[in-house]
Amino acid sequence: MDCQEKLEVPVYTDVDRETFLRDIYPLTSGSETRAPGTLCARVDGELSRAEGGRPRGQSACVPRAQDGFSAQELCVQDESYYLRSLGEDVRKEPADLRKQFPELAEDFDIPQFFEPEQFFSSVFRISSPGLQLWTHYDVMDNLLAQVTGRKRVVLYSPKDALYLYLTGDKSEVLDIDTTDLQHYPEFVKASRYECILEPGDLLFIPALWFHNTLALQFGVGVNMFWRHLPPESYDKKDPYGNKDPVAASRALQSLERTLGILEELPPDYQDFYARRMVLRIQSRAYQTMEASPGNLDTA
pLDDT in tens, 7-66: 888 888 888 888 888 888 864 433 334 555 555 433 333 333 333 233 333 334 444 444
> 164 and 111, same structural domain?
yes
Chain segment 83-110, per-residue pLDDT in tens:
888 888 888 889 998 888 888 888 888 8
CATH label of the domain that carries residue 47: 2.60.120.650
Answer yes or no: do 136 and 91 share one domain.
Answer: yes
Q: What residues contact 279, with CB distance under 8 A and at least 6 apart?
A: none
Residues 79 and 30 in one domain: yes
pLDDT of residue 242: 86
Residues 196, 85, single domain; the answer is: yes
Percent of the chain whose predicted confidence (pLDDT) is above 70? 77
Residue 21 counted as domain residue? yes
Residues 215 and 252 in one domain: no
Residue 296 lies in a domain: no
- Is residue 128 a part of any domain in this protein? yes
Q: Is residue 298 part of a domain?
A: no
Is the same domain home to 139 and 272? no
Domain count, the chain: 2
Supply the pLDDT for residue 160: 94
Same domain, 19 and 120: yes
Q: Is residue 289 part of a domain?
A: no
Rounded CA-CA distance 86/32 in Å is 35
Residues 252 and 233 reside in one and the same domain: no
Both 97 and 163 in a single domain? yes
Mean pLDDT of the chain: 80
pTM summary value: 0.80
Q: Is residue 47 part of a domain?
A: yes
pLDDT-based confidence at residue 157 (cuts at 50, 70, 90)? very high
pLDDT per position as a tens digit, 106-150: 888 888 888 999 999 999 999 999 999 999 999 999 999 999 999
Domain extent at residue 137: 6-237
Is position 1 within any domain? no
Mean pLDDT of 193-220: 92
φ, ψ dihedrals at 196, nearest 5°: -110, 120
> How does residue 177 score in pLDDT terms, banded at 50, 70 and 90?
very high
225 and 251 housed in the same domain: no
Q: What percent of the chain has pLDDT over 90?
A: 52
The mean pLDDT of 146-159, rounded to a whole number, is 93
Whether 297 is covered by a domain: the verdict is no
Average pLDDT over residues 268-274: 97
Regarding whether 145 and 61 lie in a shared domain, the answer is yes
- The residue from 218, 237, 256 where one domain ends is 237
- One domain for residues 176 and 271: no
DSSP secondary structure, the chain, as one string = -TTS-EEEPPEE-S--HHHIIIIIS---STT-----EEE-S---S--TTTTTTPPTT-TTHHHHHHH---TTTSSSTT---EEE---SSTTT----HHHH-HHHHTT------S-GGGEEEEEEEEE-TT-EEEEE--SSEEEEEEEES-EEEEEE-GGGGGGS-EETTEES---SSS--TTT-GGGGGS-EEEEEEPTT-EEEE-TT-EEEEEESSSEEEEEEEE--S-GGGS-TT-TTS-SPPHHHHHHHHHHHHHHHHHTTS-HHHHHHHHHHHHHHHHHHHPPP----TT-----
